[in-house]
Amino acid sequence: MKINWGTAIVLVFIAFIVFIGYFVVIANTTERTNHDLVTEDYYQKELGYQADLDASRNLNELNSNMRVYIRPEGLLIEFPESMLEEKVKGTVSLYRPSSKQLDFDEPIRLSDSQMLIPRSRLLAGRWDIRIFWEYEEVPYLYRKRMVL
C-alpha cells in the first residue's frame, strides 16, 4: 500500500490531536500537577499591602534583630529581647506553596523571647514564613522563605 502526501498529512494531524488530548487529560487528572491558588482572598489581601510595607519598615527601624533558625526539634523564632513577652500579640503564618492543606497559623506564645514550632508540624520542603505582631500598638512584620 502506498501512502500519498495528503494521507500522510492527515495522519500526522490526527496523531498530534490525539497526543494533545492525552496530554490535557493527564495534566488535569494527575494529583502531582494540582497546584492551588496563592490565597483564596488574593484581592482582599492586596488592599492591605501598604500596611504590610509599613510594618516591615517598623521592623527595619527596630535596633534589635529578629531571627529564625531550623533546629532538630523544629523551627525556632527569636524575637527582639527588648520586647516584653506579655505585650507581644500576633500570629506566625506558615505557607506551603505546593499544598494549601499544609498551611497553618499559630498564635505567638513566647518563652524567653523565643517561640518553637515543632518539627512534627513541618514537612520537608519550602515554607514561606510570615510573622505579624504588635508591640505597644506598633505593628511589625517579618517575612522569610526557608527550605526544611
Does residue 131 surpass a pLDDT of 70?
Answer: yes
**Strand segments (E) across 10-137:** 67-71, 74-78, 88-95, 104-107, 114-118, 126-135
Give the structural domain span for 135: 42-147
* Start-to-end Cα distance in the chain: 61
Q: Tens of pLDDT along 73-98? A: 999 999 888 888 888 999 999 998 88
- Maximal C-alpha separation, the chain: 88
Domain check: are 27 and 1 in the same one?
yes
3-state secondary structure 91-123: EEEEECCCCHHHCEEEECCCECCEEEEEHHHCC
Same domain? For 27 and 52 the reply is no
- 126, pLDDT greater than 80: yes
**Residues 72 and 25 both lie in one domain:** no
> Do both 57 and 100 map to the same domain?
yes
pTM of the model: 0.70
Residues 111 and 64 in one domain: yes
Residues 24 and 63 in one domain: no
Does residue 143 have a pLDDT over 90? yes
